[in-house]
Amino acid sequence: MNKKTSYHHGSLRATALELARQLIATEGHDAVQIRHLAKAIGVTPAAMYGHFASRSDLLLELAEEAHQRLYQQLERFLASHPEPLPALKVAVRHFIDFCQANPGTFRMMYHDEVIHAANAEQRLASLARTYRLLYRMFLRAFPERDSQQIQINMICMWSMLYGFALVRNQQMLMPYMSQGLNDEALINQVVQAAITS
């Protein structure tokens, strides 16, 4: 069958997204290029641009999909942890585990090209939902803190978690830095520091 005539009713879009997911997982988001995807699928670049306005448009769709998956996973985890502080710790730990299990996706989700795209605020709705979910959890866990304190806590937590995930994924911890440290104990300390900072 001729590949160029076999894509109908959105299957080209779905195929392109799946191929891009695989590339992100194995080679990173820099490997995702519209022309390369078109060649791999067996269609013209024009056919691809009929579904995606640009590479950034495609990456934004995949980033929102990943943020939605993370949000849904957090909701499921939190449903089984009714106590506010333990629930917050579970959420923070899950973020670290998610980034470790999906390093390519993690880098793509927060890359400049995605975060600073012209319509990123509208397209990344699940990122905002995750923020609001964690904000509510902070309010429940620390009711004595005012909204400004919670905002600061959230920024500190995000900075610590993003930095730690990046350091781990890029193997930036030199052997002399982590020598003698238990990985699980280290993660638990980061979780505790991220929440109480």
- Say if residue 3's pLDDT is above 70: no
Using N-to-C axis directions, what is the helix angle for 125-141 and 147-169, rounded to 10°? Answer: 120
Sequence-distant (≥ 6) Cβ neighbours of residue 26 within 8 angstroms: 104
pLDDT in tens, 36-69: 999 999 999 999 999 999 999 999 999 999 999 9
Sign of the CA dihedral running 187, 188, 191, 194: negative
Q: Is 0.75 surpassed by the pTM of this model? A: yes
Handedness of CA 178, 181, 182, 186 (dihedral sign): negative
Alpha-carbon distances of 71 from 1, 92, 131, 133, 168, rounded to whole Å: 40, 12, 9, 9, 22
Helix 55-79 and helix 11-26, axial crossing angle in degrees, nearest 10:
80
Q: What are the helix and strand counts (H, E) for the chain? A: 12, 0
Cβ-contact 67, 109 below 8 angstroms: yes
**pLDDT digits over 139-189, tens only?**
999 999 999 999 999 999 999 999 999 999 988 989 899 889 999 999 999
110 touches 162 (CB < 8 A): yes
Q: What is the mean pLDDT of the chain?
A: 91
Residue-wise pLDDT tens digits, 38-47 = 999 999 999 9
Domains and CATH numbers, the chain: 1-52 (1.10.10), 56-196 (1.10.357.10)
Q: What is the greatest pairwise CA distance in the chain?
A: 66
